Amino acid sequence: MPSWVRFNDTSDRWEYSVNAGGAWNELPLGIRLIDGTAAAPSLAFADDPDTGLYRVAADRYGLVAGGRLLLSGIKQAAQAGHTFYSADGTSYLTALILDNNYTYLSHGSSSAASHFYIRNTTANGTLRLGTAGIDRWVIAAAGHFEPTANLAYDIGSAALKAKSIYSSAYRGQVIKGIGFSGGEYNMNGAADDELVNYRFTIPADTLKVPGDFVLIEGVFIPAANANTKTIRHQLDATIKRISCQTAVNLADMRVRVMVKLYYRTSTTGSWGGLSWINASGASPIAGQGYLMNAGLSSADWTSDQVLALWAQGGANQDVRATDYNVTAFLATAGSTV
């Protein structure tokens, strides 16, 4: 049976012709290639035999250059392996789909490369960000933005700070630093109800005290008034500090209707040589820093104490502020300082 391969000018294609019973039958010419490999693709170029196309797996082929896979996963469903891969392994965008479970976007294939990927493409998947080959932050399936390790990473830095962070409440967490217009101040808390570190300056009129959960400490300077037995006190606007004395547990304090002051002094208060007394007391009480029932020294106090200072003495006697400076005070229950 005679046959030959010829080019059909009418159909503009190569055909395989077979003569059967005196009639010629033209069959379209087809080529079947071996699977090939990345190093030796089945369809390649004469002068570049390691660049071309080969069969990676069933329903999947890959494009290679220089013996390296550049493009693969050509199928209706994504395949495990490389979707895009950089030629040199260090440059350009890399996207990987591993076992239909992880989708990576990274800079090169090095394990130290920065990367961004979706972990598990199901409804319970997470979105993760990483640098130097390590996952750093994650957006959980529920939408929470979290670090991948507890207390591992900061938001912002000493040189580059976030402008504003909005939240309905700070509760049950450590607040490491708070910044005010006049500078930066550190405040550390070990629990939700107790401050353990304090003594940082806050400029005047920058802190609002909503209740008995923040205490304001500073220097207490009285306003001189020589013509009355009552001394009206005013605060020194230049010095104010956060404080929670070690013996005070804020959980034991309750919101009060009136603003109250807690205080202590380093010297005995006096007016014309007479001691300070408590306005609520039945009789004057000598000592440093008068309370409802007892005096204070410069040591920490252990119970709620209210500042109620009055002066006892005759009219027109000298009032010397240096005699009764209060070296520390606390303001609670809705006081703006």
Residue 90 corresponds to which amino acid? T
pLDDT (0 to 100) of residue 271: 32
Give dist(CA 95, CA 120) in Å, integer. 15
How far lies 244's CA from each of 120, 179, 334, in Å? 48, 19, 17
pLDDT (0 to 100) of residue 40: 92
pLDDT (0 to 100) of residue 178: 47
Give dist(CA 230, CA 78) in Å, integer. 85
pLDDT (0 to 100) of residue 50: 93
Chain position carrying tokens 């000298």: 318
pLDDT (0 to 100) of residue 136: 87
Give dist(CA 117, CA 163) in Å, integer. 28
Give dist(CA 174, CA 166) in Å, integer. 16
> Both tokens of residue 138?
């994650």
Taking only the tens place, the pLDDT of each residue in 123-171 is 667 777 877 778 888 888 888 889 989 888 888 887 887 777 766 555 4
Q: Report whether 299 contacts 211 (CB < 8 A).
A: no
Residue 323 burial (10 A CB sphere; 0-12, 13-18, 19+): middle
Where the chain has pLDDT below 50, the residues are 76-94, 108-111, 171-337
Residue 84 corresponds to which amino acid? F
In sequence order, the 6+-apart residues with CB closer than 8 A to the CB of 126 are 118, 119, 120, 138, 139, 140, 141
Distance of CA 146 to the CA centre of its chain: 8
| Region for 276 from its dihedrals, namely left if φ exceeds 0, alpha if ψ lies in -120 to 50, beta otherwise | beta
Strand bridging mode 270-271 / 274-275: antiparallel
- For 215-273, give the secondary structure using H, E and C: CEEEEEEECCCCCCCCCCEEEEEEEEEECCCCCCCHHHCCCCCCCEEEEECCCCCEECC
**What's this model's pTM, rounded to 2 decimal places?**
0.33
Chain position carrying tokens 């350009």: 92
Length of the chain: 337
Give dist(CA 206, CA 165) in Å, integer. 17
How far lies 19's CA from each of 12, 48, 51, in Å? 21, 40, 40
Question: Helix, strand, or coil here: 108?
Answer: coil
Give dist(CA 322, CA 5) in Å, integer. 118
Q: What are the boundaries of each domain within the chain?
A: 164-337
